[in-house]
Every structure is written in structure tokens, then in C-alpha cells.
């Protein structure tokens, strides 16, 4: 796998996150090519990772084993219309664009025969703590190629039905923002109780990190961890009682349902 030639179309935030993960996992930078319209962005990527770069998408995919489409959903149609005819049958095309279905991508490329794997990553991939969910109907080799790339920047999971990606987008794709909002609200609450802004932010943020690590590393589920820190009649219980009275779990469910609906509309 480490010798696979991977071409990223688009050298933005997500591409850099995935490239950084691959290099840290030992992938040879000589086998990674990144294209972008912005030459200064490409120069920065060369300086940071030693990758090859190009401003010519068609030239960059010529010998690629895997093409990662890492441009915004609004431009992915134009990119595929341009390179579609030059995508080899043996190449795996990985799309991380939110909302663009396999069928839409094939139509944009005017190719029904190319192998596409759709992925919904999330931004913690930038720290190697991403959650990427993949879908594909293609051969196992194509799935393995995509899995290899995404596993280098965090956890992976697969769905068997492409439609499930709407729920995935709503939960893990948009999910980091929900935790950021909670951290903001906790910080504001701390300030309202008289703590300085800096201290309130530090307490909220470090608590989020600690709770996240406990969820990931303790081997216990969220409900068990919550029960373990909630003494009957104590301070945590007083806070949680208020959250239940204000129907926080119902609000979260409605919010994630709204995000899934929006994902369906956008696609």
C-alpha cells in the first residue's frame, strides 16, 4: 500500500489532513501528488511534506492508483467533467465531497465504469483523530485503497447503504461543531459565575478533551461514564436534572434530524 501513487485534487484543509496522516503512517511522499489552483498553497505543501505538486489535474492523475477528490462540492462537477475521460479503470476514485452521490459523480465524469468510494470525514482528521465513514459498491481492492488513506488520520467505519451517509453527515461530519457549541456554552456559564474568560475557556476545553479521551479510551460507554460521575443529590446531578428538564436530549435529536434533512436537500 505504501507504494501506491495517490493524487489529491485540491490542496485545502482536508487534503492536508489526509496527507499529513499518510506521511506519518510511513507513506512515501514521493508517491503523493497534490494539485491546486493556488501555487503558494502548493509551495507550502511541498515545504511541509515533500510531496509532488501540479496545477494540471489531468497530468497529475495519469499514473495515479488512487485519486482523492478533495475540492468543494460546488466545483467537483467541473473537475470531473475535465478529468473524467482520463480516469483509468483500475484507479480508485475517493470523493470526500459532502452530498455528492456516486451517481452524480459518475454523471459529472460522463463515466459509468469508474470505481468510486464516497467518504464522509470530519475535521479532527487534522489531528489524527478523525472519524471517516465510507461507502462503496466496488471491488474490495478499491475499498482497501480508500480505507488505507482514511485510516491514517483516524477511525473508519463503513455503511452498506449510501443513503446512510445523510445520518453520518449529521452525526460525525457536523458533530465537532456540536461539541464546540457545548464548550462555548460551558465557558459562558463559567464567566457568568465570575470566572475569568481565559480560565472558563481552559476549564471547558480541557474538560472536553478529558471527557472525549475517557469515551475513547476507558472501554465504557457514555451512559456508564455519566452514571459513574453522578452522585445522587450532588452537584452533577443538579446540573443533569436541569438539562433533562430543559429536554437537552430531545433538542440534540431534533438538531441531528435537521442536519440529516439538510444533507438530503443539498444532495
Ligand X SMILES: NC(=O)c1ccc[n+]([C@@H]2O[C@H](COP(=O)([O-])OP(=O)(O)OC[C@H]3O[C@@H](n4cnc5c(N)ncnc54)[C@H](OP(=O)(O)O)[C@@H]3O)[C@@H](O)[C@H]2O)c1
Residues that bind ligand X (CB under 6 A): 9-15, 35-38, 41, 57, 70-73, 75, 79, 96-98, 120-123, 173
Q: Closest distance between ligand X and the C-beta of residue 186, in Å?
A: 22
Cα maximum dimension of the chain: 67
Distance between CA atoms of 54 and 62, rounded to whole angstroms?
12
Strand 52-54's sheet: what is its strand order?
52-54, 32-35, 6-9, 66-69, 92-95, 115-120, 130-135, 154-158
Residue 123 or 267 with smaller CB distance to ligand X: 123
Residue nearest to ligand X (CB): 12
Contacts of 128 (CB under 8 A, 6+ apart): 20, 21, 24, 153, 154
Nearer to ligand X, 14 or 200 (CB): 14
What's the rounded Cα separation, in Å, for the pair 167 and 163?
A: 8
How near is the Cβ of 71 to ligand X at its closest, in Å? 4
Closest approach of Cβ 41 to ligand X, in Å?
Answer: 6
Which residue matches cell numbers 434530524? 257
Min. distance of Cβ 86 from ligand X in angstroms? 14
Angle at the Cα of 206 (from 204 to 207), degrees rounded to 5?
Answer: 60
Burial degree of 9 (CB within 10 A; 0-12, 13-18, 19+)? buried
- Taking the complex as a whole, how short is the minimal distance between the CB of residue 55 and ligand X, in angstroms? 8
Amino acid at each position: 500500500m505504501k507504494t501506491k501513487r495517490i493524487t489529491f485534487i485540491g490542496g485545502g484543509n482536508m487534503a492536508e489532513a489526509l496527507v499529513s496522516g499518510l506521511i506519518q503512517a510511513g507513506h512515501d511522499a514521493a508517491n503523493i501528488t497534490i494539485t491546486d489552483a493556488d501555487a503558494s498553497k502548493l509551495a507550502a505543501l511541498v515545504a511541509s511534506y515533500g510531496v509532488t505538486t501540479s496545477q494540471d489535474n489531468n497530468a497529475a492523475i495519469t499514473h495515479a492508483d488512487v485519486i482523492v477528490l478533495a475540492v468543494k462540492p460546488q466545483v467537483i462537477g467541473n473537475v470531473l467533467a475535465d478529468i473524467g475521460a482520463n480516469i483509468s479503470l483500475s484507479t480508485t476514485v475517493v470523493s470526500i465531497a459532502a452530498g455528492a452521490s456516486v451517481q452524480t459523480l459518475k454523471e459529472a465524469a460522463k463515466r459509468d465504469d469508474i470505481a468510486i468510494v464516497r467518504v464522509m470525514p470530519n475535521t479532527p482528521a487534522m489531528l489524527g483523530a478523525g472519524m471517516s465513514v465510507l461507502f462503496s459498491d466496488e471491488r474490495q481492492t478499491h475499498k482497501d485503497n480508500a480505507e488505507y488513506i482514511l485510516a491514517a488520520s483516524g477511525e473508519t467505519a463503513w455503511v452498506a447503504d449510501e443513503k446512510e451517509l445523510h445520518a453520518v453527515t449529521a452525526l460525525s461530519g457536523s458533530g465537532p461543531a456540536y461539541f464546540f457549541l457545548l464548550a462555548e456554552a460551558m465557558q459562558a456559564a463559567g464567566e457568568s459565575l465570575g470566572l475569568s474568560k481565559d480560565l472558563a475557556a481552559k476549564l471547558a476545553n480541557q474538560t472536553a478533551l478529558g471527557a472525549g479521551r475517557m469515551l475513547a479510551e476507558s472501554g465504557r460507554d457514555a451512559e456508564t461514564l455519566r452514571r459513574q460521575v453522578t452522585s445522587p443529590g450532588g452537584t452533577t446531578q443538579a446540573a443533569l436534572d436541569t438539562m433533562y428538564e430543559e429536554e437537552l436530549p430531545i433538542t440534540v435529536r431534533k438538531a441531528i434530524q435537521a442536519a440529516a434533512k439538510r444533507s438530503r436537500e443539498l444532495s
